[in-house]
Amino acid sequence: MRPDLSSSPSPFASASPSFGAMPDLFGRTILQIIPELNAGGAERTTVDIAEALVAAGARALVACEGGRLVSELQARGGLWIPFAAKTKNPLRMALNVRKLQAIIRRERVDLVHARSRAPAWVALVAAKRAGVPFVTTYHGAYAGTSTLKVQYNSVMARGDVVIANSQFTRDRIVEMHPFAKERIVVIHRGADLRAFQPDQVAPARVQTLRRAWGVEPDERIVLLAARLTSWKGQRVLIDAAKALKERGLQGVSFILAGDEQGRTGYAKELDDRIAAAGLNGIVRRVGHCADMPAAFQAADVVCVPSIEPEAFGRSAVEAQAMGVPVVVTNIGAAPETVLAPPQAPESERTGWRVPPDDVQALVEALAQMLALGASQRDALASRARRHVESHFSVEKMCARTLSIYEQLFAAR
């Protein structure tokens, strides 16, 4: 019996310091599986859902290989189960099915929620053999059009419920895996408005970051916070910084914050591009940033210049929550997260949208954003914060996800 997914639970106050009235999952055990708990939207969502489950009286298990967010998971009441979830080796995956079945049986798991493809294949088989509900979340716009690749990706559409993190992602799933159409639910990624709130960021945190980044006290900051991979658009921002410098722009630092994640060749390419453009000391790579609320508070502009579609775009939402002007490329889920003309009137603008890989359009947007007066910036910040509170709170995301779990239990 398929659960009724047509109605949404009542949202609670997005700025609340607690999760409020959650679905009743007292005594239930939910296991999420993900390759590892490092930086990323899927990883952050895993921790957020674990915290909400604990608040709802459930046990929150996460099976993964570890990562920097494990300590935060445990601090929020979640339980980490070390598990070789990253492997894509078919033999090891087959062995993992038995291991996960044993965990499900030993821990009396009531539902399994998979958030990445390789562990999802393991979880699908283990959950079906154990007779427990299986949920997936489609966190990315997975590439690949070959028959083999589409088949591999299809596991994320095989859940009893398939959660899409944006309408763009939903449409992508329907296009690639039409068999899943009736089981898809759109639940936008949520920002933690307790953390991403300007008056909750102490000035000392911002000053610490600025010093670490080598930014002078009177310099403004354009921030691109994303892992170092070519489709995130770091090259485009470097080229835009060069063009702005040639226009005479001064007193602005362009910060590229993000992990290399083993892409040392790409990191070197960026460094060479910065040097060749004469931008040493103007464009800086600063590595991973653990304090993103302070990073956004330090920024005058946040840039998300992805050249390929984003399935959601967490940075744009969190930046808006902090009241920082944001520019994104007009592809993927960005139009769902940032209001801008012509789709929205100027009076409702929460940011700027530009075509992908268009240096000149990005230059013009950055110039407009850096030229905002104080009253214009304050009005934009208020609109952006309200927009995020209304549509992208972590509380709303958690309530809707836990409601899916509750409906699946009721349907059995």
Q: Which tens digit of pLDDT belongs to each residue from 142-178? A: 777 788 999 999 999 999 999 999 999 999 999 999 9
Query: 60: part of which helix (H) or strand (E)?
Result: strand 59-64
User: Does 21 score more than 70 pLDDT?
Assistant: no
What's the whole-number mean pLDDT along residues 48-61?
96
pLDDT at 146: 85
User: How many residues are present in the chain?
Assistant: 412
Confidence band for 262, pLDDT divided at 50, 70 and 90 = confident
What's the whole-number mean pLDDT along residues 314-337?
94
Say if CB 276 and CB 297 are below 8 A apart: no
pLDDT at 14: 33
Q: How far is CA 214 from the centre of its chain?
A: 27
| Domain architecture of the chain: domains with CATH | 29-190+393-411 (3.40.50.2000), 198-391 (3.40.50.2000)
Tokens read off for 160 = 């009893």
pLDDT at 263: 83
Task: List, in sequence order, every residue forming a beta bridge with 112; answer none if it has no partner.
Answer: 31, 134
What backbone torsions phi and psi does residue 333 show, to the nearest 5 degrees? -90, -5
Greater pLDDT, 310 or 171: 171
Report which residue type is found at 115: R
Task: In whole angstroms, give the CA distance from residue 313 to residue 302.
Answer: 12
Q: Which among 318, 325, 14, 293 has a CA at the least distance from the CA of 191?
A: 318
What backbone torsions phi and psi does residue 44 show, to the nearest 5 degrees? -65, -40
User: Does 25 score more than 70 pLDDT?
Assistant: yes
What's the whole-number mean pLDDT along residues 20-29?
83
- Average pLDDT value over all residues in the chain: 92
CB burial class (10 A; 0-12, 13-18, 19+) of residue 195? middle
Q: Tell me the pTM.
A: 0.81
Confidence band for 20, pLDDT divided at 50, 70 and 90 = low
Task: In whole angstroms, give the CA distance from residue 31 to residue 107.
Answer: 9
pLDDT at 7: 35
pLDDT at 16: 37
pLDDT digit string (tens) for 360-376? 999 999 999 999 999 99
Query: 299: part of which helix (H) or strand (E)?
Result: none
Contacts of 162 (CB under 8 A, 6+ apart): 135, 136, 137, 138, 156, 173, 180, 183, 184, 185
SS3 243: helix
Confidence band for 335, pLDDT divided at 50, 70 and 90 = confident
Say if CB 253 and CB 286 are below 8 A apart: no
Range with the poorest average pLDDT among 2-6, 9-13, 22-26, 101-105? 9-13
Task: In whole angstroms, give the CA distance from residue 282 to residue 215.
Answer: 9
Beta strands in 159-240 (DSSP E): 161-164, 184-186, 220-225
CB burial class (10 A; 0-12, 13-18, 19+) of residue 14? buried
pLDDT at 22: 72
User: Does 230 score more than 60 pLDDT?
Assistant: yes
Q: Which among 290, 291, 273 has a CA at the least distance from the CA of 282?
A: 273
pLDDT at 18: 52
Confidence band for 28, pLDDT divided at 50, 70 and 90 = very high
Task: List, in sequence order, every residue forming a beta bridge with 221; answer none if it has no partner.
Answer: 253
